[in-house]
Structure 1
Amino acid sequence: MSTEKTPYAADLAPSEPSGSRGASPAAYGTASGDTFPRLLAGLAAQRPNDTALQEKRYGIWQPLTWAQYNKRVRDFAHGLAALGVERGQIVAVLGDNRPEWLIAELAAQSLGASVVGVYPTSIGEELHHILTHSRARVVIAEDQEQVDKLIRLRSEAADLPMETVVYYDPHGLEAYTDEFLTDFTAVEAQGREWGDEHPGWLDEQIASGRPEDVAVICTTSGTTSRPKLAELSHANLLAMAEHLTTIDPIGARDRYVSFLPFAWIGEQMLAVACGLSRGLTLSFPEDSATQKTDLREIGPNVMFSPPRIWESMLSEVQVRIDEAGWLKRKVFGWGYAIGDRVAEQRIHGKAKAIDPLYWLADQVALRPVRDQLGLARIDHAYTGGAPLGPDVFRFFHAIGVNLKQIYGQTEICGIAVVHRDDDIAFASVGTPIPGTEIRITDEGEILLRSASVFRGYHRNPEATAEAVDADGWLHTGDAGFLDEQGHLVVIDRAKDVLTTSDGTRFSSAFIENKLKFSPYVEEAVTFPTDHGMTAMITIDPMTTGSWAEHERLSYTTYTDLAGKQEVRDLIAEEVLRANEDLPESIRIKRFVLLHKQFDPDDDEITRTRKVRRNVIAERYADIINGLAGGSDDVTIRSLVTYQDGSQVERNLVLKIVDMSTFRAPEGRGRRPVWSGRR
């Protein structure tokens, strides 16, 4: 190991949060040294009639109080015991966010077992790997779609340990007669009977649970290989929650909308760990189609989303403003300029106590946009999981959203570094949370150490030893440095940091984020070649489609739209803008618009939308070679599947755009951040 520099350590003695809403955690027991089931029992005793969870069904919010939540967890825990689930075993949960997901999680933990979350979009080999590696005998599945996956997998894989599948949405499953299938409510009913026959047994199990027990197993992103299963204890997660809330207090009256998969560490971090330790209310949207409307109805106080959600929100604003009349555009542009100025002062602790002009701009221009996005009540908003472009970051601060970048990994419960309210730098990810130490090796790798560092990878001691050294330092594999203010600046994965011929070190992710700031670019993957930097770009179908309609440009499919010369020129102007802010040696010289979007089902991106570069490099080798070779186009074979299931292969010619010969139309102004128009 390399000689390491002096660590930058945060205050190791976390202070008590101040100014939180409602009762403090001390009112119903501190999270320190506790477990999730014991915290739930404490909340049910202290606040039995307050709403713990609410789910929207058929357009109506259905509340579940803390007492009801605790009762259902106990019934399901007894039901799992009746199914043979024992301490130390793992229960898998596969499905979208619903109260039953958390009921299953807390029930398993009540027995001393743990849960492994599976992304609802997982299929085939990925699903098989998680279920076999975790040896999950009981799988909780959401609906017919998920049950059908498991039935098919069971018929194909002889080594699958799965014995029972419990589904919590029975629609479409009424005629299924497989003996290993059972309804969630039936397990609860069985649990009530089992509990009556074993009085006091579950209380003994909950009381004997230890903070060091595995609470949840989260899969790593798996950008280069099959995902590993990271074991996180109650103590790991609750230490993270306690340290985060010393910076940003969260209280019992706060609300959180849970729409990101519980299989992701980010949702376990805030919805579960912070939710139970601080007693906030969780709301579950009816489905993905109503998610934005439901977000507006709830008006959450706390929100955590990966960059793609914030980028999507910005794209929505850009489309709406571009479709508005000239007066609304002028008013918003005026308000945004004032908001941007005040945000610059605020994030450096220099904002005026009262600014009447800002108040007016907020009322007529900025607050209506926040309200449309469901962010009118936001106190704490976070982004993480991947870098967020500085321009997107700045936009949300300009409209009055207190957005902060966080940095962490699954292996440290999702968060180790975060911005403070009055100390935000758009190019950094902030400073360590209390209880966290950070160290940069001579090779530039980021090391982290705290009580939230995971127990290890499930059944993989070799990988665990590589990740955490004998002194407890987590080797992140990321390259970065601490700036003069002590902020952490993350460059990229250490193995992905490259050097140009003139010695410039650069990150492909940094260039790609510059490109993705464009409302018309959904994804970009860059490659260094002898001709300079090149890129494969996928367009955003919503914003690009809206632009095409405004330009009266007809198209049929995504492939047709991406193949239009007008769209290539549109994206070329966006690449030109991104190049302005990049050193000459790493500017994009050539690019191609891909004929399809990247798809996690094709292993091109992970479930959290991180690019699998090795898969892209292999699958699109012909395109990459065409970009590197200086040709004007590249011909590929594409498999087209029609709605009737029939398939046909056809040749597609993808045009390559050479930026050295591209010229933007004269007099074309630079478009503002909030608009897709010049």
Structure 2
Amino acid sequence: MNRRAAPKANTAAHSAKGNSVSAHHPTPASALTLPQKLLAHTQEHPQRLAQRVKRKGVWRCYTWSDVFERTRSMALGAAAQGLQRGETAIVIGENEPEHYWALFAAQSLGAKTVSVYPDATVDELHYLCEDAQARFIFAQDQEQVDKALALLERLPDIRGIAYWDNSGMWSYRHPLLQSFDALTDEGRRQHERQPQRFEREIAAGHPDDLALLTYTSGTTSKPKGVMISHRWLMDNALRMSSALPIKPGMEYLSYTPLAWITEQLLGVTLGLTMPLVVSFPEGPDQVLPNLRELAPHIVLFGPRQWENIAATIEARMLAANWIARGIYRWGIRIGHDVHVARLEGRTAPWLSRLLLPLAEALVLHPLRDQFGFIRGKVAVSGGTAMAPDVFRLFHAMGVPLRNIYGCSEFGLIAGHRGERYDLETVGPLLDVDPAFGAPLESRIQDNGELLLRGGTGFLGYWGKPEKAAAIQRDGWYVSGDAVRKTGCGELVYLDRLEHLVQLASGHLYPPQFIETRLRFSPFIKDVMVLGDATRPWVGALINIDMAVTSRWAEERRIAFSTFTDLSQRPEVRQLVQGEIRRINKLLPEGSRVVRFANFPKELDPDEGELTRTRKLRREFLEVRYRALIDGLYAGAADIACEIAVTYQDGRQGVLRATVVATDIDQTPTP
């Protein structure tokens, strides 16, 4: 269905037979649960558009009444299989309406939910189910059902598995397994027998009930389940809406994984509280085409996704002819002169202001259209720090990209607000509605560590009180982040405190600062910066971007056969060397990268080298690539490596490669 054909708003009371809801009186957000907010929207504007999803090339729309009816049927169906208040339901799958409905359904019953990355392995899913004491699993499709069924012998407390995509499922038979159709049919029968039960279940909910567990990335230890209440979600959603120019009825494309707390805040919670029109792409590979087609008002990506889009833009320009490349550079320069100057409170040059309409017509408007930013009013980077160069590129394009800084435990902390903000910072502390507690306060320790208190605070880790106690001190949450504060009170994020490193020379250096700026290069996908108290200088291991670098090599008639071959070519090493030299100019001499090597294989989450959000698992990589790191610091030119690998078909093997180490101040040779 075309966007313009979406159902129109209708605020009349919903009165379809068998689908009525009781009278509603406005209640403060601080006193509501998510299902209670869903019920309120169904009462107030049942026929207003709530969600849409693209399937088989057609946009299918759902009103609030549709969402409520499906949520009710799923909830009562799951209750019939034994899901009870206080228990846990797992949801594993892509961002689709059914994923949202499953969350709402379980929470309506007073259960808490855990959204799982769809590419989680069986072992990862087993850990989450066991740790969260799961009793029910909502799964997307055959792939996820296979994972769930493989766990049943080890998890005897699972009472049911329901899947929403029937493809390939015709031959599956198991007493605990059923389709969403069967689940909702049972839910409708339950509703006919007890027409008031669902609303009673919703009414029994309390804002301090746990709504979900969101698991930490597990970069240094096993993931921990952060306890998130409905009150916590409402508090943080209001912090976000106070910082960003979000208005009711704005459109949002839900793409970032629901296992990420920021998506739970924006897509799920703000989707209910504002409310927003939440759309879902046809599939993970259709995000950018669907983004362009919808042109939503709100765009949320993690730093890596924004960096990837920036790298894609740069890569396309590199592949263009010299005329197109020149026009692009000119247009971006004009956009930078005007938009970034306005952002920084400067007056743009008069000639740039005069030429802006031409730059808009030739470069900036087509560029925004290409990536779906034409109607963008709110563009957010949520998570870790991102290079200011990336922000400046998007602002030059006319995309008002802002940073929101926070963590899973404490919630949203700081963010860019207003029309002017410093791109080198993550903004000032966010406002807290008094209904949710005291204003946010920060304290910076002598070692640069950020302490926080205010709002709903940190509720603890599921089943791990000792871990929670370790990061609380005299009423303050101990963030583990190293920051500094500007004279204007804005926070500058440096790195995780544990990642600020002192070299044997005595110099301190911020690995993430170097890594985020190097990742802005279209040729670099991942970076691992090296150096500690036993090493006298900074080194780096580079994971090249195969797609961009291979195209660059082909255009220059550089022969290669595999990723390993390409990564070690002298031309590619010289290319990476130039990118590192550019970043070295921003650093004090004692903190600059001295030597580097390119990884001989692409880093892969399935091999434990990255988390599901593509963060480096540093301790694992230090062990896995020990020979490469030792050779780099020993001054070796050629380093022999043997790396255990797992192929896509599941076979195990060993990659044997000779990796060439490169000095930054010397020209690479074959």
Partners of 1:481 and 1:644 lie apart in 2 by 47
Q: Return closer, same or farther for 1:320/1:451 CA change in 2, 3 Å cut-off.
A: same
Contact kept, 8 Å, 2:46 with 2:65, in 1: the verdict is yes
Partners of 1:504 and 1:338 lie apart in 2 by 39
Measure how far apart 1:33 and its partner are.
2.0
Determine helix, strand or coil for the equivalent of 2:603: coil
In structure 2, the residue matched to 1:624 is 629
Measure how far apart 1:219 and its partner are.
0.6
Which moves more between the two structures, 49-58 or 511-520? 511-520
Q: 1:62 aligns with which of 35, 60, 63?
A: 60
Relative to the length of structure 1, the TM-score reads: 0.90
Letter in 1 for 2:498: K
In structure 1, the residue matched to 2:657 is 652
In structure 1, the residue matched to 2:4 is none
Partners of 1:599 and 1:335 lie apart in 2 by 37
Contact kept, 8 Å, 2:249 with 2:274, in 1: the verdict is no
Higher relative contact order (Cα pairs below 8 Å, separated by 6+ residues) = 1
Measure how far apart 1:626 and its partner are.
0.6
Contact kept, 8 Å, 2:483 with 2:495, in 1: the verdict is yes
Which moves more between the two structures, 442-451 or 404-413? 442-451
Q: How does 1:274-673 map to 2 (within 5 A)?
A: 274-350=270-346, 355-413=353-411, 415-435=412-432, 436-471=440-475, 473-501=476-504, 503-528=506-531, 530=535, 532-639=537-644, 648-649=653-654, 651-662=656-667
Contact kept, 8 Å, 1:72 with 1:188, in 2: the verdict is yes
Q: Return closer, same or farther for 1:364/1:558 CA change in 2, 3 Å cut-off.
A: same
In structure 1, the residue matched to 2:166 is 170
In structure 2, the residue matched to 1:205 is 201
Report the RMSD for the aligned CA atoms in angstroms: 2.3
Measure how far apart 1:501 and its partner are.
4.7
Partners of 1:271 and 1:640 lie apart in 2 by 37
Measure how far apart 1:565 and its partner are.
2.1
Contact kept, 8 Å, 2:92 with 2:115, in 1: the verdict is yes
Which moves more between the two structures, 242-251 or 600-609? 242-251
Letter in 2 for 1:308: R
Measure how far apart 1:614 and its partner are.
0.8
Measure how far apart 1:212 and its partner are.
0.8
Which moves more between the two structures, 30-39 or 485-494? 30-39
Partners of 2:112 and 2:496 lie apart in 1 by 30
Structure 2: gaps of 5 or more residues = 1-8, 12-23, 433-439
Contact kept, 8 Å, 1:87 with 1:112, in 2: the verdict is yes
Letter in 2 for 1:398: A
Contact kept, 8 Å, 1:23 with 1:252, in 2: the verdict is no
Partners of 2:487 and 2:25 lie apart in 1 by 41
Determine helix, strand or coil for the equivalent of 1:431: coil
Measure how far apart 1:316 and its partner are.
1.4
Letter in 2 for 1:395: L
Q: Return closer, same or farther for 1:125/1:648 CA change in 2, 3 Å cut-off.
A: closer
Partners of 1:46 and 1:644 lie apart in 2 by 51
Q: How does 1:35-114 map to 2 (within 5 A)?
A: 35-114=33-112
Partners of 1:63 and 1:621 lie apart in 2 by 53
Measure how far apart 1:459 and its partner are.
0.9
1:337-394 CA-to-partner distances (Å, cap 9, x unmatched) read 1111112322134457994422332222111111111111111111122221121121
Contact kept, 8 Å, 1:386 with 1:610, in 2: the verdict is no
Partners of 1:89 and 1:166 lie apart in 2 by 16
Measure how far apart 1:641 and its partner are.
6.3
Partners of 1:616 and 1:486 lie apart in 2 by 37
Partners of 1:633 and 1:326 lie apart in 2 by 37
Q: How does 1:82-231 map to 2 (within 5 A)?
A: 82-155=80-153, 157=154, 159=155, 161-231=157-227
Relative to the length of structure 2, the TM-score reads: 0.91
Which moves more between the two structures, 66-75 or 382-391? 382-391
The number of aligned residues is 638
Q: 1:244 aligns with which of 240, 243, 257?
A: 240
Measure how far apart 1:271 and its partner are.
0.3
Measure how far apart 1:310 and its partner are.
0.7
Partners of 1:657 and 1:437 lie apart in 2 by 46
